[in-house]
Amino acid sequence: MNQLPGKLIVFEGVEGCGKTTQSELLSKYFYDNQIDHLLVREPGGTETGEKIRSILLHSEELNGLSELFLLSAARQILISQKVLPALESGKIVISDRFYFSSLSYQGHARGIDQSIIWDISKIAAMQINPDIAFLIDISPAQSFSRKINDKKDRFERESSEFHTAVREGYLSIANSNQNLWRIIQGDKNILDVHEEIIFLLNEKLSLISE
Ligand code: TYD
């Protein structure tokens, strides 16, 4: 939790789990209920962040550590320019990925020390913590079936072992802090997942008064 008037909601999960769809559905739900909010995505969300995103997805020269530094630069710009001002002004921020992606992808899957990632991520995120985090969990097999091969970026082209490690990373992070995390089975109907998210959100943060 942050000592800020706004609330930060984070969506995480492996490729193709549906977190972008769910972030957008939640944004629409807030819009329909006239709840002031901001939807951002990582990596990206700012002009420079989107350029960094493109490098991350396509440059073959990168390794885990250079990914971490690029991701952290994009994160720091996004937090300082958009997320922190929104939280300070009392808005709800929905973030499609956050530093837990670095812990799972660069940590569990690429093998970078978790404590190094935590230290760098906390600095990049300017000590901001989520108020609730949703892990939309699907198996790597389901994840693989959701994209055409020649449209895949550098991460999506990784092996099934890599994606299994990412998923296991997320599950161990989420299971180690059950106060923060809500794990959702992502193989269900999109609208059922959305309703579950609204229910869990209200249960924890009471954002929507019916
Ligand atoms: P994402 O927006 O989920 O991709 P897509 O729109 O194709 O679903 O994320 C882009 C990629 O960046 C994704 O493969 C995961 C990777 N990533 C990391 O490896 N570490 C991070 O900290 C973040 C935020 C993303």
**Distance from the CA of 92 to the center of ligand 1, in angstroms?**
22
Is beta strand 92-96 parallel, antiparallel or unpaired with respect to 37-41?
A: parallel
Residue 170 CB less than 6 A away from ligand 1:
no
What's the rounded Cα separation, in Å, for the pair 172 and 100?
Answer: 11
Residue 6 CB less than 6 A away from ligand 1:
no
Q: Confirm if 134 and 12 have CB atoms less than 8 A apart.
A: yes
CATH of domain 7-205: 3.40.50.300
pLDDT per residue, tens digit, the chain (210 aa), is 678 999 999 999 999 999 999 999 999 999 999 999 999 999 999 999 999 999 999 999 999 999 999 999 999 999 999 999 999 999 999 999 999 999 999 999 999 999 999 999 999 999 999 999 999 999 988 877 766 666 789 999 999 999 999 999 999 999 999 999 999 999 999 999 999 999 999 999 987 665
What's the rounded Cα separation, in Å, for the pair 85 and 83?
Answer: 6
**Distance from the CA of 210 to the center of ligand 1, in angstroms?**
34
Where do runs of H (alpha helix) occur along 9-145?
19-32, 47-58, 64-78, 84-88, 99-101, 114-124, 140-144
**Distance from the CA of 42 to the center of ligand 1, in angstroms?**
7
**Residue with CA closest to ligand 1 atom 17:** 101
Instruction: Determine the pLDDT at residue 150.
Output: 66
- Residue ranges per structural domain of the chain: 7-205
Residue 51, amino acid = K
Is beta strand 7-12 parallel, antiparallel or unpaired with respect to 92-96?
A: parallel
pTM (2 decimals)?
0.95
Q: Which of 71, 96, 98, 101 to mutate to test the pocket of ligand 1 (most atoms within 8 A of CB)?
A: 101
